[in-house]
Amino acid sequence: MPSWNVNDQKIPQGRLALVSYVFVTIVVLLMVGFWKLQVVQSGHFADLAERNRVRSIPIIAPRGPMIDREGRVLVDSYPSFSILLMRDDPKSLEKSLPQIEDGLGIDHGDLRQALDAAKSEPKFMPVIIKPAATQADIAFVESHRADIPVLELMMVQRRRYPHDSMLASAIGYVGEVSVQDMDQSDGHYRPGDLVGKAGLEREYNDQLEGTDGMRRVVVNSVGKVMRTLDNVEAIPGRPVQLTIDYDLQAIAEADMQGKEGAVVAMDARTGEVLAMVSRPTFDPNDFSVRVPKEEWQRLNTDKQTPLLNRAIQAQLAPGSVFKIVMATAMLESKAIPENFTAYCPGSAVFYGRTFHCWRPHGHGTIGLHAAIVDSCDVFFYNVGKQLGIDKISFYASGLGFGRRTGIDLPGEEPGLMPSEEWVERVYHHKWYAGETISVSVGQGAVTVTPIQLARMAAAVASGGTLVQPHLLKSFPNPKVDHFALSENTVEQVTQGLYGVVNEGGGTGYHLRLANIDLCGKSGTAQLMSYDAANRLGNKKMDGWFVGFAPRRNPEIVIAAIVQDTMEHGGEAAGPVVRDIVKAYYDKKTARSQQQATTDSPAEPNSTKPLVATVGVQHQ
Amino acid sequence: MKDRPRTQDFDWVLLAIVAAITTLGVLEIYSSTHASAMAGMQWKQLMWLGLGVAGMFIISRIDYHTLMDQAPVLYMIGLATLLVVLAIGQSRFGAKRWVSLGGGPNFQVSELMKLIIIIVLARFFSEVRTDRLTLPDLAKVAVLTIVPVGLILMQPDLGTAMVLVPVAVVGAFLAGIEWKHLAVGFVLIALMIPLAWNMRKHLKPYQQQRIETFLHPEENPRSAGYQVLQSEIAVGSGGFWGKGFGKGSQNQLGFVPVRYSDFILAALAEEQGFIGVCVVLLLYLGLVLRLVDNAQKAKDRAGMYIVMGVTAILGFHVLVNASMVIGYMPVTGIPLPLMSYGGSATAFVFLALGLVMNVRMRRFVN
């Protein structure tokens, strides 16, 4: 037997026991360790476990479309992908940021800003870091699911303006909700939410925006969705039907191509806006994702203010269009006899200052009708001098000047109708009587917006009914103001305005249309004083034309302005008005003929498929 | 006195504890994998267990004195095998640990070395004729241990290499190491920690990373630190009563790394809660105490060293694995014996238990 194999040694019982005690101690310590995790900190870890496996993914509700009065789509939405950043694990988030910046080409500062903006949000709410993911972006997210688990894709509904800049100034645009709006929304908005920022998108935001849904899903360790816990479906936004007539809008847009100015066409009886153009303009598609900083800068600093809706925001001298107000004031106030005549030698001196007529050689002796038709300045200088500023102001204000029309668009400007009271309040001096002479021909302190001019013309031709212009087809209870005008006044003024277009020598004679009683008034506003313009050789002007048809109780009224032009209002803006009126009547004729030939109710053929398209998108 | 070792003399209490632990293990393997692509794993584990039990019976039949007679040969075979692995072994999980057994299942040869070191050190310690272990003896023990540890480290497999050390430490302790030597030993180890820290640049990248993430677990979310964190989340979220069988979201959804193997205790802790963990830990405590009992009743010191070698390795496994699961130790790839899925590991444990039975059966045999 080998030496080691001898059973002559006692087993060291003591040391064996000691080994047992050591192990007992180890087990006790381990139990304490598990106790700490599973009992003391179990709440904390249960929380972490839940965050590990549950993700909340918003389901963005599509914004409602905008359609024209016949159901043709003006604005709609289409599905696209946004990239979300999950924030529930701040540490792994921080780690991944540089990789995300690289992979998705996001500026570090922008990413920080997006995260900072969401600081007060609950941690389970992700942040949108790339609203319009390209194919490459989507591939990046998909291929890095394991090592960048904080990225997630979300299907979103993006705004689409199929006709690009058409009606853009009225439609406005959408953009990410601002911090102020978010604070005021009482938790309704979250960072990255798209809201209407301007125009109709903003005005009818509540109707257009739906209610976002939320999908809570269980994901596994590589971010794969295993199952859905619950699903709150998104409620799509409701469609908004506008009063706009696509056909008329298209003509107005085409006529204003390359020009500066605005057009607004309105149903004179109801206030429904049929067309609205402002030039220069922008393409709202540029805003539907995220406006690049440079583009935003350009739009905001451009001297031509493309973001301005000139139809309601440009406050301009009405020029001779103001003579409609002067004529109305003269007849209505009865301060001057109807058969009053003035002698126009081409200029006249008031209060020691020479005021020119647009026609250098003058009109000779002239009465009210001819003064409207040929737009004699000297005649209205005299009328203005006799009426005084307060009477003029009274009638101008009655016809809607100096206050907002109440159109359903944000940011409408009120224009300005000066008065003695106004000048004392604002400038603390007496009204200079000479100013009245300037105001009499729509120069000086008086400013108006195109929509105000259109409404004024409609009001005069309809006996003093001022409608509230609106773009929403189902606009509830449009406000109607009455500024009663006598039949004689209406008849005489409208005869004058009819003469402008339909009498040889009228400033709008070239605009006459067969079988249509187009009436109107041209206006040409000097951008600087007569003398200064002559001195500088700069004859740039604002050319107005306000027209309506038929002569009494008109159906359609249009105000058009072409700015910074060398032409007079009749030539510059008149054709725009004529084209729209002609198209309006052509459509009307076609419709009645169709009605005559078919027994079916008057529903344009083109409407049906377009309405169907809208329906499909919002199921 | 009986003249022949008999199967009836197996430690049936010990085997009952083993059966309880393996049952919990198989159930947890099933629970954590049944809903995944790895479903059916429990059957394979049952097969390993069956093979292990067979191995246990076979090894218990060979008198441990016979095995100890062959200790030098076994030692040489062990070292040679480790060298072969280094030369031709297959890399799996970034380390060469596996030898393909002619188309059969791959065998992690370092498991074999664990058995051999138990026998070799048992033989060495029983040759010490006194109750005091001298310094030269200690030096020899150290050399005997460090050679295979070094070879396994070169694979590299830090975990398994470390597992050999407790056999020597426990053996030396039982062989009568002087308290002052023991104290010096601990001091040396304590001094070596900063040294090892400076040597870390020579570690494999994955080892460096494991140490880094052990020290700073939050910084590397998808690596070893992430694994520890996920393990802690699973354990902690299990709470006192657990989420229920098959209902541990963290392990079911794959957040817990290798939930059926190294981190099976995390999966069990999530599903069975603190109560379940206590049951498991108490079973292991029972196992260890029962093993020590066997050592105390061994016929000779040789038998005692063998049993305590097994005890040292199993106890060390449990300590390191459970500590890792709750983030008290770095991730080293040491499975939980009898519970973690794995062929080689299961085979080793049963062969080691076979050695224990071997000793026990022969306590009355002359």
Of B174, B288, B311, the CB nearest to A15: B174
- Tell me, what's the ipTM? 0.90
Averaged in consecutive runs of 10 residues, what is the pLDDT profile of chain A (619 residues)? 55 90 95 94 87 77 90 89 78 80 83 78 72 83 80 81 90 83 77 83 90 80 73 88 94 92 94 93 79 68 80 91 94 90 91 89 91 92 92 93 92 91 89 90 91 95 93 91 91 93 88 90 78 64 91 93 86 92 92 75 44 37
CA nearest to B314 within chain A: A23
For a pLDDT cut of 90, what percent of chain A falls above it? 43
A53-241 placed in CATH 3.90.1310.10: yes
Q: Is A27 close to B285, i.e. CB distance below 8 A? A: yes
Lowest mean pLDDT among A151-165, B54-68, B350-364: A151-165
Which chain B residues are within 8 Å of A18, Cβ to Cβ? 173
Which chain A residues are within 8 Å of B222, Cβ to Cβ? 92, 146-147, 149
Strand order in the sheet with A519-526: A273-279, A261-267, A556-565, A541-549, A519-526
Do A276 and A244 contact (CB within 8 A), yes or no?
yes
Do A556 and A272 contact (CB within 8 A), yes or no?
no
What integer pLDDT is reported at residue A618 of this predicted model? Answer: 37
Q: Is B221 close to A92, i.e. CB distance below 8 A? A: yes
Residue-wise over B107-123: b if at least 16 C-beta within 10 A, else e? Answer: bbbbbbbbbbbbbbbbb
Handedness of CA B200, B205, B207, B211 (dihedral sign): positive
Do B362 and B5 contact (CB within 8 A), yes or no?
yes
Higher-pLDDT residue of B126, A225: B126
Q: Is A15 close to B288, i.e. CB distance below 8 A? A: no
- Which are the contacts of A33, defined by CB distance < 8 A and separation ≥ 6? B322, B323, B326, B328
3-state secondary structure A226-251: EEEEEEECCECCCCEEECCCHHHHHH
Domain boundaries, chain A: 53-241, 246-290+308-596
To the nearest whole Å, the CA of B88 is away from the closest chain A CA by: 33
Q: Give the number of other CB atoms < 10 A from CB of residue B279.
A: 15
To the nearest whole Å, the CA of A145 is away from the closest chain B CA by: 12
Q: How far apart are CA A498 and CA A503, in angstroms?
A: 8
Confidence class of residue B263 from pLDDT cuts 50, 70 and 90? Answer: very high
Which chain A residues are within 8 Å of B236, Cβ to Cβ? 37-38, 41-42, 44-46, 48-49
Which chain A residues are within 8 Å of B68, Cβ to Cβ? 4-5
CA nearest to A146 within chain B: B222
Q: How far apart are CA A190 and CA A177, in angstroms?
A: 8
CA nearest to B66 within chain A: A5
Q: Is B240 close to A39, i.e. CB distance below 8 A? A: yes
Rg (CA), chain B: 20
Of A15, A24, A89, the CB nearest to B173: A15
To the nearest whole Å, the CA of B37 is away from the closest chain A CA by: 13
For a pLDDT cut of 90, what percent of chain B falls above it? 50
- Which are the contacts of A139, defined by CB distance < 8 A and separation ≥ 6? none
Of B236, B253, B289, the CB nearest to A42: B236
CA nearest to B230 within chain A: A49
CA nearest to B233 within chain A: A45
Q: Residue B162 is which amino acid?
A: M
CB pairs < 8 Å spanning A and B: 161
Q: How far apart are CA B86 and CA B70, in angstroms?
A: 24
Which chain A residues are within 8 Å of B238, Cβ to Cβ? 38, 42
Of A23, A38, A147, the CB nearest to B285: A23
In terms of CATH architecture, what is A246-290+308-596?
3-Layer(aba) Sandwich (3.40)
Q: Is A35 close to B274, i.e. CB distance below 8 A? A: yes
Fold agreement between A53-241 and A246-290+308-596: no
What integer pLDDT is reported at residue A266 of this predicted model? Answer: 95
Q: Which two tokens mark B340?
A: 């973690």
C-alpha separations of A574 from A500, A509, A512, A587 in Å: 11, 10, 10, 20
Q: Is A16 close to B274, i.e. CB distance below 8 A? A: no
What integer pLDDT is reported at residue B14 of this predicted model? Answer: 94
Handedness of CA A9, A11, A13, A17 (dihedral sign): positive
To the nearest whole Å, the CA of A142 is away from the closest chain B CA by: 17
CA dihedral A176, A180, A184, A188 (to 10 degrees): 20
Of B65, B69, B235, the CB nearest to A37: B235
CA nearest to A224 within chain B: B253
Q: Is A38 close to B218, i.e. CB distance below 8 A? A: no
Domain boundaries, chain B: 7-361
Q: Residue B115 is which amino acid?
A: L
Q: Is A34 close to B235, i.e. CB distance below 8 A? A: yes
Q: How far apart are CA A269 and CA A274, in angstroms?
A: 12
Residue with tokens 């109807």: A338
What integer pLDDT is reported at residue A600 of this predicted model? Answer: 52
Of A11, A38, A42, the CB nearest to B304: A11
Q: Is A46 close to B237, i.e. CB distance below 8 A? A: yes
Confidence class of residue B51 from pLDDT cuts 50, 70 and 90? Answer: very high
To the nearest whole Å, the CA of B213 is away from the closest chain A CA by: 14
Q: How far apart are CA A345 and CA B168, in angstroms?
A: 128
Helix (H) or strand (E) holding A295: helix A293-301
CA nearest to B237 within chain A: A46
CA nearest to A48 within chain B: B233
Interface test with A, best of B66, B119, B233 (most A CBs within 10 A): B233
Q: Give the number of other CB atoms < 10 A from CB of residue A608.
A: 11
Q: How far apart are CA A309 and CA A536, in angstroms?
A: 30
Residue with tokens 């406050």: A315
Helix, strand, coil tally for chain B in percent (to 5): 70, 5, 25
Which chain B residues are within 8 Å of A222, Cβ to Cβ? 254
Per-residue pLDDT at B122 exceeds 90: yes
Of A30, A31, A39, the CB nearest to B323: A30
Strands A240-241 and A66-67: parallel
Higher-pLDDT residue of A224, B71: B71
Which chain B residues are within 8 Å of A24, Cβ to Cβ? 285, 289
Q: Is A23 close to B126, i.e. CB distance below 8 A? A: no
3-state secondary structure of A600: coil
Interface test with A, best of B253, B304, B324, B363 (most A CBs within 10 A): B253
Which class for A567: exposed (0-12), middle (13-18), buried (19 or more C-beta within 10 A)?
middle
To the nearest whole Å, the CA of A89 is away from the closest chain B CA by: 10
What integer pLDDT is reported at residue A617 of this predicted model? Answer: 37
Q: By C-alpha distance, which of A459, A503, A78 is closest to A266?
A: A459
Q: By C-alpha distance, which of A17, A246, A240 is closest to B289?
A: A17
What integer pLDDT is reported at residue A324 of this predicted model? Answer: 94
Do A340 and A383 contact (CB within 8 A), yes or no?
yes
Q: How far apart are CA B217 and CA B296, in angstroms?
A: 42
What integer pLDDT is reported at residue B93 of this predicted model? Answer: 53
Do B127 and A3 contact (CB within 8 A), yes or no?
yes
Residue-wise over B43-73: b if at least 16 C-beta within 10 A, else e? Answer: eebeebbeebbebbeebbeeebbebbbbbee
Of B65, B129, B298, the CB nearest to A11: B298
Q: Residue A470 is which amino acid?
A: H
Q: Is A31 close to B239, i.e. CB distance below 8 A? A: no
**Ramachandran area for residue A338 (φ above 0: left; ψ -120 to 50: alpha; else beta):** alpha
Q: How far apart are CA A38 and CA A32, in angstroms?
A: 10
φ/ψ of A465, rounded to 5, equals -95, 115
pTM of the model as a whole: 0.64
Q: How far apart are CA B105 and CA B112, in angstroms?
A: 15
